[in-house]
Structure 1
Amino acid sequence: MKITHYTYNAFLVEEGNTRIAIDPGQNLWIFALRSLIPKDKWPGVTHIVITHGDPDHHWQSDRVAAASGAYVVCGIGLTKTENSETLVVDPRGRGLTSWIHLRNLHPLDVGESIELAGVTIEAVRSVHGPIAVPLLGFTLRQKPGPDERVGLGSMAFKITIGNKSVLNLGDSLLMTEWEGLRPTVLMLPIGGGGGNTWTMDVDDAIQAVELIDPQLVIPCHYNVPFLWKKKFAVADDARFKREVEALGKKCRILGPGGVANV
């Protein structure tokens, strides 16, 4: 299994002819506003998994789906039913004002799973925390909820291909019910703290590793570019790696375009 990390929570997981794009969102640095997963990778994608509706996770998902014809899996909270048709929130829409149709869309609720072309995807509970973003001397605050776009449809997913599994937690706070999930690979955010309240910080993420008991850990969604800042959601990944390895687990730090072979 080959795993490529494109910063934020964007990953490409490849095994044989299967190529799973996790959170194909947008780079939010104003000097490089582009797709996190390169466009030349889009046509080969077989599955798309979306953990929630924020731009850095969902912005390009419909375009990747159009280029590839891939199956699309998301949390049920990212969708609505209208005239007997299931719609997903518009990736580039404003708030909750626009919704679109996607072919091969499969929304899941917590505990539900689906098998698609040899890949089993299970929905696991996650909770996106409130955001507090400093902006031009002010702090933009939003709390996820049923009428808010922030964190919409938040869901973690356990993806199983053959005898290997990948658990991606999205932008989540720490959940005790993750105990004993035991994936081959765990992808989790570590960039909370320092005013960032919407994901786990390093300490919470280490607790999550202890609960989940994976073989390999890949930290994500930290030290990312955002607006005019080159480094946002700052975290000490060296400390995280040391403490994960002290638990007897493997840990890989993947920079932009970094690859892990599992």
Structure 2
Amino acid sequence: MLTIRYLGHSAFALEADGKQVLVDPFLTGNPAGAVTADEVNPTTILLTHAHNDHVGDTVELSKRTGATVFATHELATYLGQKGANAVGANHGGTVAFDGGTAKFVPAWHTSSYLDGDTFVAPGVPAGFVVRFGGQTVYIAGDTCLFGDMALIGEEGLDIAILPIGDHFTMGPADAVRAVKLLKPKVVIPCHYNTFPPIQQDPEQFKRDVEEQTGATCVILKPGEAYQAGS
């Protein structure tokens, strides 16, 4: 059984069989944050890209727990230099972690980390197809709509976690189009209502998804969890 807990913004905890996989753990300083960094104990961390609101507490968490961080090569190299237990990979590659696997897939966005006043670790963004807890979960990361989502859908998705905030990522209308390409059973929206530029109505998104596609849309407030397969 897989539990997906929304930690706010684009941060999630995927939990199964006593293992915790954190995705984009922006916890400290997150206006929508549901937990503090000392309340989570990841065995694995997946990072979609280098923006500060996604890298978040990664280095400190990896140092404290020994969690392996998986990210694209440039970002993993930078985080390793900062002391994280980081492994780099790239689009098309699949990595194994304790309890599951994650396949790197494309995302259309930018990727850089602001260290003081300097942009570092540019690299490229990614999404993940995660197989864990008996489920196949697509984590889009920050991205626009793109046609090759249809190929990602051929992975046989149980769940798709999609940004809907607009401005920096696709908005609700394009996210509905993404659902049509991906064909997941369940959609969970994220990356909205954290900051003024990304204010959206998730209930309207849910109505549009369920009227226009065969998917069920699950809206999670920060701190809430979804039991996959239940």
Q: Normalised by the shorter chain, which TM-score bucket?
A: 0.7 to 0.9
- The 2-side partners of 1:16 and 1:51 are apart by 24
- Count of aligned residue pairs for this structure pair: 217
Cα gap change, 1:256/1:238 in structure 2, threshold over 3 Å: closer, same or farther?
Answer: same
Residue number among 92, 95, 100 corresponding to 2:82 in the alignment:
100
- Given that 2:74 and 2:121 are in contact with CA atoms closer than 8 Å, whether structure 1 keeps it comes out as no
2:181 is aligned with 1:191: no
Residue number among 67, 72, 76 corresponding to 2:73 in the alignment:
76
Q: Give how far 1:59 is off.
A: 2.1
Residue number among 194, 201, 222 corresponding to 1:236 in the alignment:
201
Matched residue type, 1:215: K
SS at structure 1 position matched to 2:148: helix
Residue number among 214, 218, 227 corresponding to 1:261 in the alignment:
227
Q: Give how far 1:115 is off.
A: 1.3
Q: What is the percentage of aligned positions where both structures have the same residue?
A: 28
Larger Rg: 1
- Given that 1:129 and 1:173 are in contact with CA atoms closer than 8 Å, whether structure 2 keeps it comes out as no
Unmatched tracts of structure 2, length 5 or more: 112-117
2:218 is aligned with 1:252: yes
Unmatched tracts of structure 1, length 5 or more: 80-86, 91-98, 131-146, 226-230
- Aligned position for 2:56: 59
Matches within 5 A, 1:16-31: 16-26=17-27, 28=29
Residue number among 158, 164, 178 corresponding to 2:149 in the alignment:
178
- Given that 2:45 and 2:58 are in contact with CA atoms closer than 8 Å, whether structure 1 keeps it comes out as yes
Matches within 5 A, 1:109-128: 109-128=90-109
- Cα deviation, 1:219-258, whole Å, max 9, x if unaligned, reads 0000114xxxxx4401121111011112121111111111
- Aligned position for 1:6: 7
Matched residue type, 2:62: A
- Aligned position for 1:38: 36
Residue number among 175, 182, 187 corresponding to 1:217 in the alignment:
187
SS at structure 2 position matched to 1:200: coil
SS at structure 2 position matched to 1:88: helix
- Aligned position for 2:114: none
- The 1-side partners of 2:29 and 2:170 are apart by 20
TM-score (norm 2): 0.85
SS at structure 2 position matched to 1:209: helix
TM-score (norm 1): 0.75
- Given that 1:54 and 1:150 are in contact with CA atoms closer than 8 Å, whether structure 2 keeps it comes out as no
